[in-house]
Amino acid sequence: MAEDDIKSFDVAFECDATGVGKMRCEMDVRLMVPEVIEWQMASDEYGFHGGDGSAPLPIAYFIAGLTSCLMTQMRAFSKRLRVDIENAKISCRCEWVATQKGREPYESAPKSIHMDISMDSDALLEDQLRLIEAAKKGCFIEAMLTPQNNITHRLKTADGWVDC
Protein backbone atom coordinates (compact mmCIF):
# COMPACT_ATOMS: atom_id res chain seq x y z
CA MET A 1 0.00 0.00 0.00
CA ALA A 2 1.40 3.39 -0.94
CA GLU A 3 2.05 5.91 1.85
CA ASP A 4 -0.61 8.29 0.50
CA ASP A 5 -3.36 5.65 0.15
CA ILE A 6 -6.41 6.59 2.18
CA LYS A 7 -7.59 4.08 4.73
CA SER A 8 -10.16 4.39 7.46
CA PHE A 9 -10.93 2.56 10.66
CA ASP A 10 -13.81 2.55 13.08
CA VAL A 11 -13.66 3.19 16.80
CA ALA A 12 -16.59 2.58 19.13
CA PHE A 13 -17.01 3.07 22.87
CA GLU A 14 -19.90 2.13 25.13
CA CYS A 15 -20.66 3.14 28.69
CA ASP A 16 -23.23 1.76 31.10
CA ALA A 17 -23.81 4.00 34.12
CA THR A 18 -25.68 3.22 37.33
CA GLY A 19 -26.70 5.76 39.95
CA VAL A 20 -25.77 4.62 43.48
CA GLY A 21 -25.73 6.39 46.82
CA LYS A 22 -26.65 10.06 46.84
CA MET A 23 -25.17 11.25 43.53
CA ARG A 24 -22.45 8.69 42.79
CA CYS A 25 -22.38 7.20 39.31
CA GLU A 26 -20.61 3.89 38.68
CA MET A 27 -19.71 3.19 35.07
CA ASP A 28 -18.57 0.25 33.01
CA VAL A 29 -16.72 1.83 30.08
CA ARG A 30 -15.77 -0.30 27.09
CA LEU A 31 -13.79 0.18 23.95
CA MET A 32 -15.67 -2.14 21.55
CA VAL A 33 -13.93 -1.54 18.21
CA PRO A 34 -11.19 -2.21 17.07
CA GLU A 35 -10.81 -4.43 20.17
CA VAL A 36 -12.56 -4.91 23.49
CA ILE A 37 -11.05 -3.29 26.58
CA GLU A 38 -13.02 -2.51 29.75
CA TRP A 39 -12.66 -0.10 32.67
CA GLN A 40 -14.68 0.53 35.81
CA MET A 41 -14.98 4.21 36.68
CA ALA A 42 -17.00 6.31 39.09
CA SER A 43 -18.00 9.92 39.42
CA ASP A 44 -19.71 11.85 42.19
CA GLU A 45 -20.85 15.39 42.74
CA TYR A 46 -19.77 17.55 45.62
CA GLY A 47 -22.18 18.93 48.21
CA PHE A 48 -23.74 21.56 45.92
CA HIS A 49 -25.57 18.77 44.08
CA GLY A 50 -26.03 16.60 47.15
CA GLY A 51 -23.11 14.26 46.52
CA ASP A 52 -20.38 13.08 48.85
CA GLY A 53 -17.38 13.86 46.63
CA SER A 54 -16.39 10.18 46.73
CA ALA A 55 -15.04 10.22 43.16
CA PRO A 56 -14.03 12.80 40.54
CA LEU A 57 -16.73 15.10 39.19
CA PRO A 58 -18.06 14.10 35.76
CA ILE A 59 -16.54 17.23 34.21
CA ALA A 60 -13.13 16.15 35.55
CA TYR A 61 -13.24 13.12 33.27
CA PHE A 62 -14.20 15.35 30.36
CA ILE A 63 -11.31 17.79 30.77
CA ALA A 64 -8.86 14.98 31.52
CA GLY A 65 -10.00 13.05 28.46
CA LEU A 66 -9.85 16.06 26.16
CA THR A 67 -6.42 17.18 27.37
CA SER A 68 -4.85 13.72 27.38
CA CYS A 69 -6.33 12.93 23.95
CA LEU A 70 -4.57 15.91 22.37
CA MET A 71 -1.35 15.09 24.26
CA THR A 72 -1.46 11.48 23.05
CA GLN A 73 -1.97 12.53 19.43
CA MET A 74 0.86 15.09 19.61
CA ARG A 75 3.27 12.48 20.94
CA ALA A 76 2.17 9.80 18.47
CA PHE A 77 2.16 12.11 15.45
CA SER A 78 5.52 13.68 16.33
CA LYS A 79 7.10 10.39 15.30
CA ARG A 80 5.08 10.13 12.06
CA LEU A 81 5.79 13.74 11.09
CA ARG A 82 9.44 13.54 12.23
CA VAL A 83 9.05 16.49 14.60
CA ASP A 84 11.10 15.69 17.70
CA ILE A 85 9.52 16.99 20.91
CA GLU A 86 10.30 16.60 24.59
CA ASN A 87 8.65 17.78 27.79
CA ALA A 88 5.27 18.31 26.14
CA LYS A 89 2.73 20.01 28.40
CA ILE A 90 -0.85 21.15 27.91
CA SER A 91 -2.87 23.35 30.24
CA CYS A 92 -6.58 23.21 29.49
CA ARG A 93 -9.29 25.53 30.81
CA CYS A 94 -12.97 24.81 30.17
CA GLU A 95 -15.57 27.47 30.90
CA TRP A 96 -19.33 27.41 30.76
CA VAL A 97 -22.20 29.45 32.10
CA ALA A 98 -25.25 28.17 33.94
CA THR A 99 -28.53 30.06 34.09
CA GLN A 100 -31.47 29.30 36.32
CA LYS A 101 -35.00 30.67 36.53
CA GLY A 102 -36.53 30.40 39.99
CA ARG A 103 -36.56 26.80 41.16
CA GLU A 104 -36.17 25.36 37.66
CA PRO A 105 -33.08 23.25 36.98
CA TYR A 106 -30.22 25.34 35.64
CA GLU A 107 -29.18 25.14 32.02
CA SER A 108 -25.53 24.96 31.01
CA ALA A 109 -24.01 26.49 27.91
CA PRO A 110 -20.38 26.17 26.84
CA LYS A 111 -18.33 29.34 26.67
CA SER A 112 -14.86 28.22 25.70
CA ILE A 113 -12.15 25.63 25.82
CA HIS A 114 -8.63 27.00 25.77
CA MET A 115 -5.45 24.95 25.53
CA ASP A 116 -1.95 26.27 26.14
CA ILE A 117 0.72 23.95 24.72
CA SER A 118 4.44 23.96 25.44
CA MET A 119 7.20 21.64 24.33
CA ASP A 120 10.94 21.54 23.89
CA SER A 121 11.82 21.13 20.24
CA ASP A 122 14.52 22.15 17.79
CA ALA A 123 11.98 21.83 14.96
CA LEU A 124 10.95 24.87 12.96
CA LEU A 125 7.91 26.74 14.26
CA GLU A 126 5.94 25.79 11.13
CA ASP A 127 6.67 22.09 11.79
CA GLN A 128 5.55 22.42 15.43
CA LEU A 129 2.33 24.12 14.29
CA ARG A 130 1.82 21.38 11.65
CA LEU A 131 2.19 18.79 14.42
CA ILE A 132 -0.41 20.53 16.60
CA GLU A 133 -2.81 20.85 13.66
CA ALA A 134 -2.47 17.12 12.96
CA ALA A 135 -3.03 16.32 16.65
CA LYS A 136 -6.15 18.51 16.72
CA LYS A 137 -7.56 16.65 13.71
CA GLY A 138 -6.60 13.27 15.19
CA CYS A 139 -8.09 13.83 18.65
CA PHE A 140 -11.43 11.99 18.68
CA ILE A 141 -12.77 14.01 21.60
CA GLU A 142 -11.93 17.36 20.03
CA ALA A 143 -13.38 16.24 16.71
CA MET A 144 -16.70 15.56 18.45
CA LEU A 145 -16.73 18.99 20.08
CA THR A 146 -15.41 21.31 17.40
CA PRO A 147 -18.73 22.03 15.63
CA GLN A 148 -20.29 23.06 18.96
CA ASN A 149 -17.41 24.90 20.60
CA ASN A 150 -14.69 27.32 19.75
CA ILE A 151 -11.62 25.43 20.94
CA THR A 152 -8.49 27.53 20.94
CA HIS A 153 -4.90 26.39 21.10
CA ARG A 154 -1.64 28.20 21.68
CA LEU A 155 1.95 27.01 21.47
CA LYS A 156 4.47 28.39 23.95
CA THR A 157 7.64 29.47 22.17
CA ALA A 158 10.77 31.28 23.30
CA ASP A 159 9.21 34.48 21.91
CA GLY A 160 5.83 34.02 23.62
CA TRP A 161 2.54 32.40 22.69
CA VAL A 162 1.62 31.56 19.08
CA ASP A 163 -1.98 30.81 18.09
CA CYS A 164 -2.40 27.51 16.29
pLDDT at 144: 86
CA distance 62 to 135: 18
Residue range 57-164, CATH number: 3.30.300.20
Strand-pair category, 24-33 with 37-43? antiparallel
pLDDT at 2: 64
User: Which of 56, 98, 86, 73 has the alpha carbon at shortest distance from 153?
Assistant: 73
pLDDT tens, the chain, 164 aa long: 566 788 888 989 999 999 998 999 999 999 999 999 999 999 999 887 889 999 999 999 999 999 999 999 999 999 999 999 999 999 999 998 989 999 999 888 888 999 999 999 999 999 999 999 999 999 999 988 877 667 889 999 999 999 99
Per-domain residue ranges for the chain? Answer: 10-56, 57-164
DSSP state of 147: T
pTM of the predicted protein model: 0.82
CA-to-CA separations, 11 to 33, 71, 83, 125, 141, in angstroms, rounded: 5, 19, 26, 32, 12
pLDDT at 70: 97
Compute φ and ψ for 98, nearest 5 degrees: -120, 135
